[in-house]
Chain A
Amino acid sequence: MNITVLLSMVPDLVEELEIDASGAALDTQWLRYVISESDDHALEQALLLKDRHGASVSVMALDYGDADQVLFAALARGADEAVKLTGIPEAGLGKRAAAATFKEALGGIRTDLILTGVQAIDDLDAHVAGMLGGMMALPYVGVTRSVEPSGEGKVLVQKEYPGGAAAEIEVTLPAVIGVLSAPQPPRYVPVARIREVMKTRTLDEREAVPATVPAEPAIIRLFKPESAEHAQMLDGSPEELAEQIVKILEDRGLAP
């Protein structure tokens, strides 16, 4: 099975997010990028398929943020090949444009299964996976927690529902899967191995084919949630706080 995993970088929430002068975009000067969490799981899902059933795993990312770092780390974790799509604006692309760019790049690649995270945190239309499925007119299932081979040219996925339920769905390949989580957390890759990979391997750099996408919704403004509905903060020593809580509960008839 040939698997392609699409990786995106999103703002790292460890840093304070700053909004730029336009008020409608993040200030990239303060931005630190990190691999999108569900993409990280998509890669792990692909590597598990490779480990358990044999597969060739190719990873692909747009060239912005720490694309090199992310791709080399993927190689160190066990991916067989890494493709970097160049010619991308410094701030990356909107998710729909990203999906369209991936679609163009995937045109020349023989792949059975396209895995990527079900959603990214940093755009209005966060679902690269679903949009790619729609654009490529391939079968698409999102929000999966496991992907297993199932007979010739098929995979069996578990799609997660609220409350811990899930649907088991058999999907005919080629297909796009939007991964929520891999059956196990993304594996650790030691720094030494990443450094070795950076010395010994190269990224397959390809010029991205510009893709046309319909006008995206216009962002009016970005803002931080207002604290108007902020909780009433209580203060004091632990004992005083405990007393205040008990009082609140008593007032509402909730105290035992």
Chain B
Amino acid sequence: MSPAGQDVWVHVEHLKGRVAGHTYELLGKGREIADALAGRLIAVLVGSGVRPLAETLAADGVLYVEDAGLAEYTPGSHAAVMRALVEKEAPRAVLFGATSMGMDLASVLAAALERPLIVNCVNLQVRDGRTVATCQMCGGKLLCEAEASGPVVVTVMPGSFPAEAGLAKSPPPVEAVPMPATLETVGMRAIRLLEPEPGDVDITKSAVLVAVGRGIQRQDNIPLAEELAGALGGTVCASRPVVDQGWLPMSRQVGKSGMMVKPKLYLALGISGAPEHAEGMKDSDLIIAVNSDAKAPIFDIADYGIVIDMYDLLPALTQALQGRKA
């Protein structure tokens, strides 16, 4: 492994012709790291016919690998390409999103190239020439600060850094790299993309969301939340457990495997605030959290918190709002 490379690479995640938002967050943070390491910030874009995407990336350069076989993402094909590139160029740090795609690529790459792997980071910095990462563990109940002196592969929780710094003001130089790997041996092929079942509403477009979590306890109680949402002129959404129970459709799910939302008001009822959920809503303008457990992590990201059984508060709040309207 060559210690020479001080470059910081950011994997550009894209789906259906659009760059995932967290890629810009990584580029923004990658800039700081690259500067501190006195290396370059390189965005790595892999796919077919997606070259225009490179224009939005704020980086010192973009490595672009184009191949018809890369049109549809598979972990195997993209990992093979990333591996060949990293093996050849030996960058200091490779950053991925802690997402469905990023997790696969980072772990395979780190193992295949015997590089250290640090996942689910919420902060990254360089201290005395070492990469220091802070990452979430144990469902957000713990943070772990770890350092790597040499090359490292990192996944970063989406939403950890601002995205603005990663958006290019002018297009970066793009270097088209010839296909560095063969896809014949990856052992998988993409069949199709399954769209989510069409939902009744698009919660990402709602300015006010009333979110219900495990604390709702019974399906029968959903109407109580709906009534409140009605009084607020908003929509009801939910964390994964509620959707898994089948109490609300998947289109209402907020979080890692659901929607990323950023409403003006996010009223979290009975939601503990596990990282998977927090990821999808923590950028909301105003978060008010109601939970019976004073230690729930949701209170760490909320603006206002209330420790109370949601059923004690709900009727009073709905009434107060309806009274105000009338």
Contacts and interface: CB of A to CB of B under 8 A. Distances in A.
Nearest to B312: A238
A175 B108 CA distance: 13
B100 to A, nearest CB: 4
B313 A223 contact: no
A134 B100 contact: no
Contacts of A252: 264-265, 285-286
Nearest to B311: A238
Interface stretch (A65-73, A80-88, A120-128): A120-128
Interface string A6-17: 000001010001
Interface string B118-145: 1110000000000011010111111111
A99 B257 CA distance: 26
Given A223-B143, A224-B142, A225-B143, A162 B103 contact: no
Contacts of A233: 299, 304-307
A222 B144 contact: yes
Interface stretch (B23-31, B169-177, B187-195, B216-224): B187-195
B112 A135 contact: yes
A241 B147 contact: no
**In the complex, which range does the number of interface residues on chain B fall in?**
35 or more
Main secondary structure of the interface of B (DSSP, over half): mixed
Main secondary structure of the interface of A (DSSP, over half): mixed
B320 interface: yes
Contacts of B67: none
Nearest to A99: B111
A143 B106 CA distance: 13
B237 interface: no
A109 interface: no
Contacts of A171: 187-188
B118 A169 contact: no
B300 A165 contact: no
B4 interface: no
A124 B259 CA distance: 26
B232 A239 contact: no
Nearest to A223: B143
Interface in B226-253: 231-233, 244, 250-251, 253
A216 interface: yes
B201 interface: no
A167 B190 contact: yes
B107 A129 contact: yes
Contact of A225 (B75, B188, B300): B300
A161 B100 contact: yes
Contacts of B303: 231-232
A231 B308 contact: no
Contacts of B191: 156, 167-170
Contacts of B301: 229, 231
Interface stretch (A44-52, A201-209, A242-250): A242-250
Going nearest first, the 9 A-B pairs with the smallest beta carbon separation are A130-B107, A134-B111, A164-B196, A139-B187, A231-B305, A127-B107, A231-B302, A131-B111, A125-B117
Given A124-B144, A134-B79, A162-B99, 4 more contacts: A127-B106, A163-B258, A165-B193, A256-B325
